[in-house]
Amino acid sequence: MSSDPKAPLGLRIAATGGLLLLHLPLLLIVVYAFTTEEKSFQFPPPGFTTKWFGIAWSERPDIWPPLFLSLKVAAIATCLALVLGTFAAAGLSRARFFGRETVSLLFVLPIALPGIITGISLRSAFDIMGLDFSTWTIVLGHATFCIVVVYNNAIARFRRLGGNLIEASMDLGANGLQTLYYVVLPQIGTALLAGGMLAFALSFDEVIVTTFTAGQQSTLPIWMLSELIRPRQRPVTNVVAVFVIVTTMVPILLAYYLTREGEHTGGSSK
Amino acid sequence: MSTRAAAGRQGGVGEAISDVFFARPGLLTLLLLLPPLLWIGVVYIGSLIALLLQSFYSLDDFSGLVVHDFTLSTYGQLLEEANVGIIVRTVAMSALVTLACALIAFPIAYYAARYAKGWKKALFYLAVMMPLWSSYLVKVYAWKLILAKEGILTWIASGLGMTWLLEGLLALPVIGGPSLSFSYIGTFLVFVYVWIPYMILPIQAALERVPANLIEASADLGAEPSQTFWHVIYPLALPGIVAGSIFTFSLTLGDYIIPQIVGNSRLMIGQAVYTLQGTAGNIPLAAAFTVVPMVIMGFYLWMAKRMGAFDVL
């Protein structure tokens, strides 16, 4: 942007320092996954061991069902959100009707209002309808806030795409379905993939809404929350935390890779 | 592209459908919008209404059952001293957290928007995205480790010979406590840490749109760098700050996990709602409590929209 690229020293320190502070706590968890101290959070750790990884793998069967439930919920919620979010973005990007702003606000509402409101409303609705807690009650909540993530990614791409290519395709004699298949889908594919991955990461990690919609079931975040409140083997929780950090990192990096041109880096290409 | 000729032969139904949509573009828009609108309308808005209705019921003090008669008495209970305390405490915490997030996020966003280029820019972006998307609970847990009495902060303080400072902080009334992980200072630190990325991204988006020649023009016209900052950059960055504050404010307002894990025993709105609907079984009061953040956020969103904050979301 500017012809003078050298930042003032104070700004460089504040910016770099701030970013480092964002990452040090996560690194600390990795350190604690290797500690020999089981009962407290003593720092520096009295010794280092890799045994907790083995214990988490083979001696804690209570980890697996929550993990599988989380994966299942995230997969279903992501699929639902992909369909609904894309429809919403496609519809709104074409629409020029009165109240369009209100509709777009409606889609953003589930993340603009605190999660606890979503949670308790869903729960009271389940109560009123006499619905029993199941995987589907969790999915219902997750899909609701995952729609926004897909919607945001898709609408950004639709805006950039504009209508020209679609018109050109029609002018060249393609019908609507062909235009959809050969022109629109290839253009928005990566944005949908990115949105889907972010939705998956969001659902996999969600705890606030889930505590209201899960009943007695346990997803991985709920398992972790109960370990935080009543710790059993603290280092095992650290091992699971490290696992969660790594598994959420992959979709985020992929999502970034898929959408790296244009949408996020905004003015940099000018 | 060459495959299109082959696909063109399917004709029939496909042609007919696309003809209908071509003739009536509004119909396609409607069909596209209907499923997501139904979902949000029925599942989300429907549940919200169900909740709001419950806030007009009341709890019978003797039987502990919900009385399904319209009353405003539950809202009246919100005005009891203990409940007002909860609301004031939560709003104050949200405001302070938002302020701190803005102060820390601004230099990062400013550097990323104006000075970082090429791979550095990508690195900055990823460095913000990773903590933003990494697990909320893992982040909270990390701070449980940091703030523990036997943890790294105490260790650093004693290494620097500053244990007196830490003890002095903890001895303070209201915000202090037996250890950092059982004090408001701790709760505040965790909130700030967890929400900072939500503040950085919109500020950066707003700053990206400030044309460089605007800043040069300001300098050419004889403005000091600080004048340029306050009169040119800051007003243009403000929508970004407001957009970020929507997240930091709203998220703090409704959170019940962070104050439960790191904090003292005084409740915040989220915790009050959680315990009221759970063990206490007082859904009406819990519902009335949730109206507080709804009203605050409704007002906040309205203000934000007026300030143009939605353009940078």
**Per mean pLDDT, which range of A4-13, A16-25, A248-257 is the poorest?**
A4-13
- Cα–chain center distance at A20: 22
pLDDT tens sequence across B257-281:
999 888 887 888 888 888 888 777 7
Question: A–B: how many Cβ contacts below 8 A?
Answer: 296
SS3 at position B58: strand
Residue A150: what residue type? V
Q: Which residues of A touch B54 (CB under 8 A)?
A: 124
Q: Which is nearest to B200 in space by CA: B139, B129, B300?
A: B129
Q: Do B141 and A87 touch (CB under 8 A)?
A: no
**Which value, to the nearest 10 degrees, does the dihedral of the CA atoms of residues B59, B41, A222, A28 take?**
-120
% chain B with pLDDT above 70: 94
> Which are the contacts of B251, defined by CB distance < 8 A and separation ≥ 6?
A114, A115, B194, B195, B198
Q: Structural domains in chain A?
A: 63-258 (1.10.3720.10)
How far is the C-alpha of B57 from the C-alpha of B244, rounded, in Å?
36
Among B8, B41, B313, the residue with its CB nearest the CB of A178 is B8
* DSSP H or E segment with residue B66: strand B66-67
What residues of chain A lie within 8 A of the CB of B111, using their CB? 7, 11-12, 14-15
Percent of all residues in chain A with a pLDDT value above 90, rounded to a whole number: 13
Query: CB distance B44–A18 less than 8 Å?
Result: no
Task: Give B9's pLDDT tier (boundaries 50, 70, 90).
Answer: very low
In this model, does residue B191 exceed pLDDT 90?
A: yes
Q: What is the pLDDT of residues B237-252, one digit of tens each?
A: 888 898 889 889 988 9
Residues 6+ apart with CB under 8 A from B174: B184
**Nearest Cβ partner for A95 among B19, B29, B105:** B29
pLDDT band at A266; cut points 50, 70, 90: very low
Contact B215, B228 (CB under 8 A): yes
Q: Any idea which of A71-75, A165-169, B12-16, B48-52 has the lowest mean pLDDT?
A: B12-16
Residue A145: pLDDT above 60? yes
Question: Residue B109: closest CA among chain A residues belongs to which residue?
Answer: A15
B59 touches chain A (CB under 8 A): no
Helix (H) / strand (E) element for B59: namely strand B58-59
Q: Give, in order, the Cα–Cα distances in Å from B71 to each of A127, A188, B54, B288.
A: 21, 51, 10, 12
Kindly compute the dihedral angle of the four CA atoms of residues B101, B106, B109, B110, in this order, to the nearest 10 degrees: 180
For residue A206, pLDDT over 60 is answered with yes
What DSSP designation does A52 have? H
Q: What percent of chain B has pLDDT over 90?
A: 13
Asked if the model's pLDDT at residue B39 lies above 60, the reply is yes
Q: Rounded to the nearest 5°, which phi and psi values hold at B63?
A: -85, -20
Section A207-236 average pLDDT: 86
CA distances to A255, B47, B192 from A248, rounded to whole Å, are 11, 30, 21
Contact A144/A135 with Cβ under 8 angstroms? no
Find the closest chain A residue to B31 by CA distance. A91
Tell me which range, A64-68, B13-17, B303-307, is most confidently predicted by mean pLDDT.
A64-68
Say if the Cβ atoms of B140 and A228 lie within 8 Å: yes
Interface predicted TM-score of the whole assembly (ipTM), two decimals? 0.80
CB contact under 8 A, B145 and A28: yes
How many Å lie between the alpha carbon of A58 and the closest alpha carbon of chain B?
A: 22
Question: B103-114, pLDDT tens digit by residue?
Answer: 999 999 998 888
Chain A CB within 8 Å of residue B100 CB: no
Q: How confident is the model at residue A237 (pLDDT cuts 50, 70, 90)?
A: confident
The pTM assigned to this predicted structure is: 0.83
Q: How far is B35 from chain A (nearest CA, A)?
A: 7
Shortest distance, CA A228 to any CA of chain B (angstroms): 7
> Residue A88: which of B28, B36, B137 has the nearest Cβ?
B36
Identify the burial level of B73 via C-beta atoms within 10 angstroms of its C-beta, where 0-12 means exposed, 13-18 middle and 19 or more buried: middle
CA–CA distance, B233 with B63 (Å, rounded to integer)? 61
Q: In this predicted structure, what is the pLDDT of residue A84? A: 94
Candidate from A1, A109, A205 with C-beta closest to B114: A1
Q: Chain A neighbours among B 38-57 (CB < 8 Å)?
A: 39-41, 43-48, 50-51, 54
Q: Does the distance separating the beta carbons of A260 and B122 come in below 8 Å?
A: yes
Locate B106 and state its tokens. 């601004």
B contact residues 234-253, partner A, Cβ 8 Å cutoff: 246, 250-251, 253
Sign of CA dihedral A109, A113, A119, A124: negative
Beta bridge partners of A35: A48
How far apart, in Å, are the Cα atoms of B260 and each of A18, A74, A133, B141, B265?
A: 26, 26, 24, 12, 8
Are A120 and B145 an interchain contact pair (Cβ–Cβ within 8 Å)?
A: no
